[in-house]
């Protein structure tokens, strides 16, 4: 049985991107809205993107988001994504 949520109670949030060697690393958090109105992390996953990975295969990033959300019982399509990475 899957839990479902609305974009108002859970989200995916990217931490700032930092260059690492020949690529970029970033952290993706699944966050849930707590009763006090603050966002609390439920799960955190790190990802290393090599220089051309995302540009050549953006589906890989989407698959990472889907796997991360699914680990805690959410569907990526149901979650808002904030601070999404932008690659120049």
- Residue ranges per structural domain of the chain: 10-82
Kindly report the pTM of this predicted structure: 0.76
Per-residue pLDDT of the chain (88 residues; tens, 9 = 90+): 445 545 689 999 998 776 666 667 789 999 999 999 999 999 999 887 766 555 566 788 889 999 999 999 999 999 999 987 765 5
Residue 12 β-bridge partners: 30, 81
46-53 long-range contacts, CB within 8 A, separation 24+:
48/20, 48/23, 48/24, 49/23, 49/24, 49/25, 49/85, 49/87, 50/22, 50/23, 51/22, 51/23, 53/23
């Amino acid at each position: 049985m899957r839990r479902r949520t609305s974009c108002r109670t859970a989200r995916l949030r990217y931490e700032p991107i930092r260059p690492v060697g020949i690529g970029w690393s970033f952290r993706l958090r699944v966050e849930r809205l707590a009763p006090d109105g603050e966002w609390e992390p439920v799960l955190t996953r790190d990802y290393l993107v090599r220089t051309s990975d995302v540009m050549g295969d953006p589906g890989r990033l989407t698959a990472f988001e889907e796997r991360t959300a699914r680990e805690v019982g959410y569907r990526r399509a149901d979650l808002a994504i904030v601070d999404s990475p932008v690659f120049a």
